[in-house]
Amino acid sequence: MENTTTNPPKLILRDYLAIDRSKLANERTLLAYARTGLMFFVSGISLVKLFSTDLFLVYLGYILIPISIFIVILGLIRFKHTHTTIAELYQKR
């Protein structure tokens, strides 16, 4: 009988560094989503508070606030998905 199971190749330093770069890039992307969401939120609040006489800008401000929440939630979902994928690839090796 022949042994059909093989041991996966061992990771070398280059592989560990690539995994670390991927994790850091994922975190930077999450921070970019948070920064964008915060910018939309602050813009929406500013439009509502500063231009209370112009209905178009007030409505635009009210539209930007839920969009900001959606952007942050989307960033969190994408971060978690990518984090899980990186962890699974790391476990396979």
Q: Which of 4, 34, 33, 30 is nearest to 83 (CA)?
A: 30
Residue 88: pLDDT over 80: yes
Q: Summarize pLDDT for 60-82 with one digit per residue, the tens.
A: 999 999 999 999 999 999 999 99
Q: Summarize pLDDT for 14-53 with one digit per residue, the tens.
A: 888 888 899 999 999 999 999 999 999 999 999 999 998 9
pLDDT of the residue at 48? 95
Q: Which of 29, 71, 18, 64 is nearest to 44 (CA)?
A: 64
Residue 8: pLDDT over 70: no
How far apart CA 41 and CA 61 sit, in angstroms, is 8
CB contact at 8 A, 36 and 71: yes
Length reported for the chain? 93
Q: How many CA atoms lie within 13 A of 56 on its CB side?
A: 0
